[in-house]
Structure 1
Amino acid sequence: MAIDRRAFPCVKDDKVVVEILEIVQNSAGLKLLRIGANEAAKMLHKGKAEFIIIAADTLPLEIVLHLPLLCEDKDVPYVYVPSQQTLGRSAGISRPVTAVAIVKSDKAVLAKSLRRLRELVDSIAQ
C-alpha cells in the first residue's frame, strides 16, 4: 500500500522505525503513553504531550491530519511511522493504533530517549 504524501515526515528507514517503536514501548512500560488520536489531541490541548507518533497508513488519513496542526501550534514534535499494526504492538496492545502521545515526565531514562528521537525527526524533516 502506498503511503499518502501528506504523511510528512514519514520514517522510511527500518532501523529508525525500530528505534522509534522501542521508545514507544519503553514509554508504555513507564505508563507515559496515551493511545489513540483523541487521547493524543487531549494531551496536546492540555500541554502534556512531549512527542506524537502517527501511523501513516491510517485510512482515511484525514482522521489524524489535525494532529500535525496541533503539534505545530503547541511546538510539539511529531513523526509518522508506516504501520498502525506495529505502532499498536509497540504500545502494548493487539489492535492497530492511529496515533500515540508520549506525555511529559521528569524520568531521566525517557528524557535521553526523547532527545534522541527529536534528533532523528529533525534529520528526517531536513
Structure 2
Amino acid sequence: MTGEINPKAYPMADDSLTKTIFELVTQASNYKQLRKGANEATKTLNRGLSELIILAGDAEPLEILLHLPLLCEDKNVPYVFVGSKQGLGRACGVSRPVIACSVLQKDGSQLAPEINKLRQSVEKLLI
C-alpha cells in the first residue's frame, strides 16, 4: 500500500536530489548524526541541533508532519520532501517506513561538506 504524494508536500526533491539525500541520510545514520521520526525531528529543531530536515511526501495523513516546515522556517533550517517514506526508512537503515528525519550538526564531522552542499541545493528549491 503506497500513499499518494500529497500536493502540500513542497518543496519536493526530484529523483537525482532524492538519491543524494538518501545517500547522505545513510551516511548520517552510520555516523550517528541522524534522528528518525517526526517527534525526534521536532526535538532536534527545538534544541537547535538540526542541519536539515527530510520529510516523506506520502505520509498519511500529511498533516502529522506539517508543523515541521513551520518550525524549520522559524529556526532557519532547510527542509525537503522526498517521495517515499519506505525509501526514507531504508536510507535510515530501518525496515519500517520513516516519515521524517533530522540530520544533526556535529563539529568536525566528515559529513559537514556534503551536508552543506545538500543544504544549498535544498535552499535553491525554496526560492
TM-score range relative to shorter protein = over 0.9
Partner residue in 2 for 1:121 = 122
Partner residue in 2 for 1:58 = 59
Read off the aligned partner of 2:58 and give its amino acid letter. Answer: D
Partner residue in 2 for 1:76 = 77
Q: 1:101-123: CA deviations, max 9, x gaps?
A: 01111134211111111121123
User: What's the Cα RMSD here?
Assistant: 1.2
- Asked if 1:43 is matched to 2:31, the reply is no
1:3 Cα deviation after fit? 2.0
Partner residue in 2 for 1:14 = 15
My pick for the range that moved more, 101-110 or 70-79, is: 101-110
Structure 1 CA distance, aligned partners of 2:38 and 2:15?
A: 24
Partner residue in 2 for 1:103 = 104
Q: Quick one: structure 1 residues 71 and 14, their matched pair in 2 at CA, closer, same or farther if it must change by over 3 Å?
A: same
Q: 1:27-46: CA deviations, max 9, x gaps?
A: 00000100000000001111
1:67 Cα deviation after fit? 0.3
TM-score with structure 1 setting the length:
0.94
Read off the aligned partner of 1:49 and give its amino acid letter. Answer: S
Read off the aligned partner of 1:7 and give its amino acid letter. Answer: A
Structure 1 CA distance, aligned partners of 2:50 and 2:119?
A: 14
Read off the aligned partner of 2:79 and give its amino acid letter. Answer: Y
Read off the aligned partner of 2:81 and give its amino acid letter. Answer: Y
TM-score with structure 2 setting the length:
0.93
Identity of aligned residues (%): 48
The ranges of structure 1 where at least 4 consecutive aligned residues each deviate by more than 4 angstroms after the TM superposition are none
Structure 2 CA distance, aligned partners of 1:123 and 1:73?
A: 18
